[in-house]
Amino acid sequence: MAQLTNNFSWSFSAADDFDTCRRKRYWAKYAMWGGWDAKATELQRKAYRFTKMSNRYSLQGNAVEMSVMWALRQKQQGKTVTVDEAYDTVAKPFLNKAWKESRDKMWETNPKKYCSLHEHYYPQLSKGTDKEWTQGVIEKTKTCIDNFLQRVLPRLTHVKPADEVTIASPDSGGQPEHFTFEGVTVYAIPDYVYREGDTWHIIDWKSGKSKPEHQNQLALYGLWAHLKHGVPAENILVYLEYLAEGKTAVEQLTDGHLEKIQEHMRMSIHEMSDYLVDADRKVNAPLPQEEWELVLSRGPCRVCSFYELCEPELKNL
């Protein structure tokens, strides 16, 4: 088997981690490397394990995405489903399995295979009791499914599987969906894409609140369609489906949108490169840990998977 190499790459989530806290990006990209190996140090193992940690919000988002895609597939087969059917068939088994794995600490044997929840690992940082936040996840998941069935699915009933664009997910085996931008591998994984004539419709399901940065995320997906598949900007429509709020934000992309996101990426890639030895992305060797600054505000630390690794330093600040 060929040896894995830690290559420099860029994604919206990686840039967000880097902007939130430089040290978080160090843990997630560099300190964790090789943490799956039997010869790994304790720091490598912990950092690797924390990269696999989820929380109530990501768990809810995954449950919603799986449920709405199941409902869409049922509709394509001529079947109409209810909120309870979608929740009981897809979301509930997934949520129960993940919660049980985390509660029983099954991740100790295989952090890649079994779920570890931030709320269980760091109960002192979690808001609300286990019962309170789990009930909140159930209610919000059902709300998202309901809004999808009532508001979104009717707009997708004409879409056939043959119209859909296949997206390589992290769980599908092989490299997740990506494209190359000025020599850098960029990961861009939209939730759902379909063609309608010459027009590409790119959709992202959101189970949380709307945020301004979501517009950049959709522009990145548009750039993926443009650079990897040769789709002109004027033939790309992007949708943010805020399922918890029952709102849709749709935008027709322009060359200006694509130029703006490319400039954002160049700046972000340049800043991230400054934390490499000799700013050499080809070698991709990180500067020493202490050069990756801790975030000034403690707010992000409370929801960070790597809190345990930073805690000794945080106590001295």
> Of 206, 258, 202, 271, nearest to 16 (Cα)?
271
Residue burial 95-129, b: 16+ Cβ < 10 Å; e: rest: beebbebbeeeebeeebeebbbbbbbbbeeebeee
DSSP state of 191: S
Domain spans in the chain, listed from the N-terminal domain onward: 26-157+287-315, 161-273
Between CA 47 and CA 72 the distance in angstroms is: 37
C-alpha of 21 from chain center: 17
Whether residue 213 is predicted with pLDDT greater than 90 in this model: the reply is no
Mean per-residue pLDDT of the chain: 95
Helices (H) and strands (E) in the chain, counts: 11, 7
Over the stretch 288-309, which tens digit does the pLDDT of each residue have?
A: 999 999 998 889 999 999 999 9
What confidence tier does 2 reach under pLDDT thresholds 50, 70, 90? low
The pTM assigned to this predicted structure is 0.94
Amino acid 171: pLDDT: 80
Residue burial 167-202, b: 16+ Cβ < 10 Å; e: rest: beeeeeeeeebbbebeebebbbbbbbbbbeeeebbb
CA atoms within 13 A on the CB side of 90: 25
What confidence tier does 271 reach under pLDDT thresholds 50, 70, 90? very high
Over the stretch 45-70, which tens digit does the pLDDT of each residue have?
A: 999 999 999 999 999 999 999 999 99
